[in-house]
Amino acid sequence: MEQKHYRPRLEILQGTLDMLILQTLQWGPQHGYAIGQTIRTDSAESLQIETGSLYPALHRLEKQGWVKSDWGTTEQNQRAKFYRLTPKGKKQLLHERDRWTQLVAAMATILNPKRSRS
């Protein structure tokens, strides 16, 4: 699918969720439930990913070609759809992390200005 249909509605929030998912998948294929759980535990329970956002986001990433999905079974023998990062997705993750770092730095400069008067 062409790139041009990728139109996040709430840029920062959505972009962040996408980045979080990509980051989570960096360590290996995961199914949707596990991704949600991982983000929750990794953020010390402070980030609760709603399933209503998670699945659309996963499908969106898949459509962009950043992740790929396959059906498999979990350790508990539950059939589930596993998502894994594609090379393109890895690049995207690096790109988004850069942007995030820049954003954080910029925000920090604005929110905590160095009160240096000359």
Partner 1 sequence: MGFVSWLFRRRAIDRDLDAEIRAHFEMAVADRIAAGEDPQSARLAAINEFGNVLQTKEAARHVWRGGAVAVIADLWQDVRFGARMVVKNPAFSLVVIAVLSLGIAGNAAIFSLFKGLALKPVSGVRDSSRMSVALGRTADGRNVGLSLPDYRYIKEHNQAFEDLTGSSMIFANVGLGADSERIVAELVTGNYFQGLGVGAQLGRTLGPADDVAPGQHPVAVISDSLWRSSFGADPAVIGKTLHLNGTPLTIVGVADPAFNGTMVSMGVDVFAPIMMQPQLSPPSRLDSYGIFMMTTMGRLKPGVSNQNASAQIAVLASQLDAEHPINKFTRRHAVVPIWQSPFGAQTYLLPAIAMLGGMGVLILLVVCANVANLVLVRGVARRGELAVRLALGASRGRLLRLLFVENMVLAIPGALIGVALASFLLPFFAVGASSSAPSRMYLDTSIDAYVLLFAIALAGACAIVFGFVPALRTSRVELTSALSDVSPRTASRGWLRSMLVVSQVAASLVLLISAGLVLRSYAAAVKADGGFDATNVTSVAVDLQTAGYDQPRGSVILTRLLDALGSEPAIESASLATNVPMSLVDGASRATTIEGYAPRSDEDMLFLFNIVAPEYFRTLRIPLLAGRDFSRTDDASGQPAVIINETMARRFWESPENAIGKRIRSGESEWRSIVGVAKDVKYSRLSEPPRSFIYYPLLQTYAPAITIHARAAGDVNHAMRRVRDHMQAIDPAIPITRSVTLREQTRVALSVYQLSAGALTMFGVMTILLAAIGIYGVVAYTVQQSTQEIGIRMAIGARRVDVAWNFLGRGATLAATGAIIGLAIAVSLSGALSSLLYGVGTRDVVSFAGGTALVMGIALMASFFPAWKASKTDPLTALRHQ
Instruction: Using CB under 8 A, list all residues that contact partner 1.
Output: 1-2, 5, 31-34, 37, 50-52, 55-56, 58-60, 63, 71, 74, 76, 78-81
User: Which of residues 52 and 113 has its CB atom nearest to partner 1 in the complex?
Assistant: 52
- The minimum distance between CB 24 and partner 1, in angstroms, equals 15
Q: Considering beta carbons, is residue 59 or 90 the nearer one to partner 1?
A: 59
How many Cβ atoms sit within 10 Å of the Cβ of residue 11?
A: 9
60 or 89, CB closer to partner 1? Answer: 60
Specify the residue for token string 């890895």: 90
Residue 54: CB atoms within 10 Å: 18
Nearest Cα to Cα of residue 54 among 69, 27, 32, 30: 32
Tell me the closest approach of the beta carbon of residue 74 to partner 1, in angstroms. 7
Count Cβ atoms within 10 A of the Cβ of residue 35 and give its class: 0-12 exposed, 13-18 middle, 19 or more buried.
Answer: buried
The token pair at 25 is 């998948």
